[in-house]
Copies of this chain bind each other. A is one copy, B any other.
């Protein structure tokens, strides 16, 4: 049974491309409010669960021990564009733990924000691990290790204390047992564990409400969400979907992209969690589905709708600024 087509891409009034996928919207009791496709097949959530991966940093006391502020906590949850402010905050996190860029094990790549990459090139230097879109998460891992008296070296490996804490947080929040060997390696070299959309959506309903979480974990989740709501630029960056949505919705929605067409969200006021994956891995379609679900589930002000509506039905322009196509939710 194939997942349904969720998004159509049109050009000249004709459907040019189509994206299939699945999504789950659950409440914190595990009730399915809305779904499409197979929500019980484990998928790799990739970076969409960074807020869960950041819980041990707060719960352990390491964040407070090193005086990490909201900017740092937001960056710990980020897949950022490598813009100067992202890099500065990542460096500051490492410095707080008396560590440096050499401690990061995520690898270096050019900023994904193209203008930032060009500007960096013109400075005559190449990118460092601080420009890696995951540098905030990794700086958080280094702080977690140092703050709990563990040698950070090798913190990316599944058997390292840091990744054991991260795995336990994922299991605790989603309620899904992560079997040994059920992981792949993520782009930043840490393990990514396969988890069904149903469990991910439940996890995000808990992240948004605290229901079903121990008080300390619920408080840590609320603190991370608040940090991101205050600094939505840091969780993604210029022109990015997550940043634009959270600049508009503030604490009403926590949304986070993951590679290969994944998106998760927590909607605290509704008590709901959302998890989705486009089967072909397309981020452009995952964004349309997420924006469409936010519009469907939430009561939006005119100002919020003005941001969300174009994200749910993007108009594509060519290099001359002409409209050439659109994306839209497929009829169910």
Q: Contact mask A263-288 → B, CB, 8 Å, 1/0?
A: 00000000000000011111001000
Q: CB distance B122 to A260 under 8 Å? A: no
Cα A11 to Cα B190 with chains together (Å): 13
Segment of A83-91, A108-116, A202-210 engaged in the interface with chain B: A108-116
Q: Is A261 an interface residue (CB 8 A)?
A: yes
The residues of B that contact A106 with a CB separation of less than 8 Å are 319-320
Which of B14, B107, B319 is the one whose CB lies under 8 Å from A318?
B107
Output the nearest chain B residue to A117 by Cβ-Cβ distance: B118
Does A188 sit at the interface, judged by CB under 8 A?
Answer: yes
Q: How far is the CB of A196 from chain B (nearest CB, A)?
A: 13
* A281–B42 alpha-carbon span in the complex (Å): 25
Residues in A53-98 with C-beta less than 8 Å from chain B: none
Q: Determine how close the nearest CB of chain B comes to the CB of A161; give it in whole angstroms.
A: 20
| Segment at the B interface, from A15-23, A145-153, A303-311 | A15-23
- Of A20, A109, A182, most buried by chain B (CB within 10 Å of CB) is A20
Complex CA–CA separation, A53 to B108 (angstroms): 41
B17 to A280, Cβ gap below 8 A? yes
B-side contacts of A319, CB under 8 Å: 106-109, 132, 187-189
Q: Mark A288-312, 1 if CB is under 8 A from B, else 0.
A: 0000000000000000000000000
Asked whether A318 lies within 8 Å of B44 as measured between CB atoms, the reply is: no
B322 contacts A189, C-beta separation under 8 Å: yes
- The answer to whether B184 touches A12 (Cβ under 8 A) is yes
Asked if A186 is at the interface of the complex by the 8 Å CB criterion, the answer is yes
A261 — which chain B residues lie within 8 A by C-beta?
A: 17
Across the interface, do A281 and B324 meet the contact criterion of CB distance under 8 Å?
A: no
Contacts of A183 in B (CB 8 A): 12
Residues of B within 8 A of A323 (CB): 185
What are the nearest 6 A-B pairs in CB distance?
A: A12-B184, A107-B319, A17-B281, A118-B121, A11-B184, A280-B280
The 27 sampled A-B contact pairs (Cβ below 8 Å) are A9-B260, A12-B183, A12-B184, A14-B194, A17-B260, A17-B261, A17-B279, A18-B279, A106-B319, A107-B318, A114-B117, A118-B121, A118-B122, A119-B121, A121-B122, A122-B122, A132-B319, A185-B322, A186-B318, A186-B324, A187-B318, A188-B318, A189-B318, A189-B320, A189-B322, A280-B282, A282-B282
If A16-B44, A118-B118 are given as contacts, then 4 extra A-B residue pairs at C-beta distance below 8 Å, sorted by A number, are: A14-B42, A14-B184, A17-B281, A184-B325
